């Protein structure tokens, strides 16, 4: 079944009496890269938190891989195949780079705590499997596994967070402001990584206010004051009068 992996229809959200999202409708096709762009305070992060389960869905519907998302918890949503990153990368500071990625791979195994306690062969086997998967992912992203994660510079932290997310073999990767705090070179690495991930078959939802990063997206939605005011490819968006008004004030 080809088509859309993620479908939002009329999603709205209010904090107290304040409407953050009016009615957002958008979809991410399988293997697509969709950008969501908008100025600060436009509701991007709120929308992102609703999709990933950190905020409850108040109005509208969300469908992921054909099934409605309603009250599923954050871990449940992850297990159904979506994974997110954070605006400021939340890496595990007191663990090594490899261990960080290994945590991302933990959910693909099935041993219980009792097997872990007794260190049964099955548990040890799965641990080896996690380790080799993590080593492979670290290799793909050019990360040195035995470094303490706390020593990584900002760009590498971003990459580590993405690598860790991918170790769980998701179907949809959601990136929250992934270019924040990156220098030009790191930005190029990030764009290359997103392209490679996408070529490997993953859908990507990219939330950012960074026009340059949005060049990787096949279609871009512009969010302003809780509404999608434009959508299309980047070239069309840049010509759009509404968007120019929001971004450039003309």
3-state secondary structure 69-123: ECCCCHHHHHHCCEEECCCCCCCCCCCEHHHHHHHHHHHHCCCCHHHHHHCCHHH
172-176: strand order across its sheet: 67-69, 59-64, 4-15, 18-29, 227-232, 219-224, 33-37, 203-208, 172-176, 82-84
Residues 60-79 that bind other proteins (CB under 8 A): 73-76, 78-79
Q: Closest separation between CB of residue 135 and other proteins, Å? A: 14
Nearer to other proteins, 5 or 222 (CB): 5
Residues 22-51 that bind other proteins (CB under 8 A): none
Choose which of 55, 95, 191, 229 interacts with other proteins (CB under 8 A): 95
Which residue is associated with the tokens 């086997």? Answer: 125
Binding flag, residue 173, other proteins (CB under 8 A): no
* Sole window of 114-122, 139-147, 181-189, 193-201 interacting with other proteins (rule: CB under 8 A): 114-122
Binding flag, residue 116, other proteins (CB under 8 A): yes
Binding flag, residue 123, other proteins (CB under 8 A): yes
Q: Which residues bind other proteins (CB under 8 A)?
A: 52, 73-76, 78-79, 83-84, 86, 90-95, 99-100, 102-104, 106-107, 109, 111, 113, 116-119, 123, 126-127, 130, 161, 164-165, 168
């Amino acid at each position: 079944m080809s088509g859309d992996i993620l479908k939002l229809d009329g999603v709205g959200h209010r904090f107290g009496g304040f409407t953050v999202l009016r009615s957002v409708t958008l979809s991410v096709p399988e293997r697509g890269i969709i950008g969501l762009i908008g100025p600060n305070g436009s509701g991007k992060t709120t929308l992102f938190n609703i999709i990933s389960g950190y905020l409850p869905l108040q109005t509208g519907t969300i469908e992921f891989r054909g099934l409605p998302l309603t009250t599923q918890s954050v871990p449940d949503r992850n297990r159904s195949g979506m994974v997110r990153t954070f605006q400021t990368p939340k890496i595990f500071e007191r663990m090594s780079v490899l261990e960080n990625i290994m945590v991302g791979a933990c959910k693909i195994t099935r041993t219980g705590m009792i097997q872990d306690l007794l260190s049964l062969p099955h548990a040890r086997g799965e641990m080896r499997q996690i380790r080799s998967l993590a080593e492979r992912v670290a290799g793909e992203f050019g990360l040195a596994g035995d470094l303490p994660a706390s020593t990584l510079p900002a760009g590498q932290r971003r990459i580590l967070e993405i690598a860790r997310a991918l170790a769980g073999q998701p179907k949809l990767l959601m990136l929250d402001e992934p270019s924040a705090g990156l220098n030009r070179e790191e930005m190029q690495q990030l764009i290359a990584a997103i392209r490679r991930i996408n070529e490997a078959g993953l859908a990507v939802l990219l939330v950012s206010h960074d026009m340059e990063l949005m060049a990787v997206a096949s279609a871009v939605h512009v969010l302003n004051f809780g509404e999608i005011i434009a959508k299309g490819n980047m070239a069309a968006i840049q010509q759009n009068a509404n968007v120019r008004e929001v971004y450039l004030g003309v």
